[in-house]
């Protein structure tokens, strides 16, 4: 087993990189891929950059060049469901790219033609293991909750109440962000198991930009806490 760990931003990756043992760096596609051991597991970690193209290309490199057998995406997201609060953790059960639109040709909003699925489902065993990790951590007196549900992805930072509400209603999603759907599609096409772990940095509303910077570090810590314990048990 070799696990590829993808974060969009350095703030999300910092705690991970600090814990990698026997680290070595390989430069590809203008990115630094860090290989080493994380809690006894072989991993390759990378900051892919923001957006769907960056994350898709990075995922393919992890699979094709580094021979990763599993992919984990960890980071922050905007919570668009009223029950999902700042710093909560969302484990994705499936992903949809909300800005993909060929509805004029009879497809549903977010549906990609000729790919064989409407949403990209995370690996069931990784979902169940992540849920178990979250339940165990919940018993330690943490100040956040965890949720399992749909995460949606698009090449926009959502910071508008009306748009956020529409996305929630259109897709029945808990959170939105800018990379996971593309990671999921790439893993799906390569038949690679994957899981998405996101902690809430903002609510996608009119002041989401302010909230994002306020909660980025704390949300990144919470996401890493789940990732860390998942890596230990995987």
How sure is the predictor about 143, in pLDDT bands with cuts at 50, 70 and 90? confident
Is residue 141's pLDDT more than 90? no
Backbone angles phi, psi at 189, to 5 degrees: -70, -25
For residue 142, the model assigns a pLDDT of 79
- Helices of type H across 32-156: 52-64, 124-138
Q: Is 65 a catalytic residue?
A: no
Cβ-based neighbours of 74, under 8 Å, separated by 6 or more:
5, 6, 7, 12, 16, 197, 198, 223, 224, 226, 227
Average pLDDT, the chain: 96
The reported pTM is: 0.96
Please check whether the domain covering 3-233 is classified as CATH 3.40.50.1580: yes
* pLDDT, tens only, 90-104: 999 999 999 999 999
Q: Point out the catalytic residue in the list 94, 177, 179, 202.
A: 202
pLDDT in tens, 2-29: 999 999 999 999 999 999 999 999 999 9
Strand runs (DSSP E) across 69-213, as ranges? 70-79, 89-97, 120-121, 146-153, 175-177, 194-202
pLDDT given for residue 83 in this prediction: 95
When pLDDT is cut at 50, 70 and 90, the band that residue 144 belongs to is: confident
Q: Which of 12, 81, 111, 179 is catalytic?
A: 12
pLDDT tens for 181-224 read: 999 999 999 999 999 999 999 999 999 999 999 999 999 999 99
Structure tokens at 199: 């902690």
pLDDT of residue 94: 99
Return the domain boundaries, the chain.
3-233
Q: Is the pLDDT of residue 176 over 90?
A: yes
């Amino acid at each position: 087993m070799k696990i590829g760990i993808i974060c969009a931003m350095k703030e999300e990756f910092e705690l991970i990189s600090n814990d990698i043992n026997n680290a070595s760096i390989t430069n590809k596609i203008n990115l630094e891929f860090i290989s080493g051991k994380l809690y006894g597991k072989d991993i390759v970690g990378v900051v892919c950059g923001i957006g769907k193209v960056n994350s898709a290309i990075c995922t393919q490199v992890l699979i094709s060049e580094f021979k990763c057998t599993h992919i984990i995406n960890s980071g922050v997201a905007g919570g668009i469901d009223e029950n999902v609060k700042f710093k909560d953790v969302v484990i994705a059960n499936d992903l949809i790219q909300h800005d993909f639109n060929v509805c004029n040709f009879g497809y549903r909003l977010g549906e990609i033609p000729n790919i064989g699925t409407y949403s990209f489902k995370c690996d069931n065993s990784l979902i169940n293991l992540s849920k178990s990790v979250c339940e165990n951590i919940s018993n330690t007196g943490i100040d956040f909750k965890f949720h399992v549900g749909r995460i949606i992805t698009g090449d926009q930072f959502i910071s508008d109440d009306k748009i956020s509400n529409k996305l929630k209603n259109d897709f029945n999603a808990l959170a939105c962000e800018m990379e996971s759907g593309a990671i999921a599609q790439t893993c799906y096409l390569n038949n690679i198991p994957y899981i998405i772990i996101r902690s809430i940095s903002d609510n996608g509303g009119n002041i989401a930009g302010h909230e994002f910077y306020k909660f980025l570090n704390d949300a990144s810590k919470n996401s890493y806490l789940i990732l860390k314990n998942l890596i230990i048990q995987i």
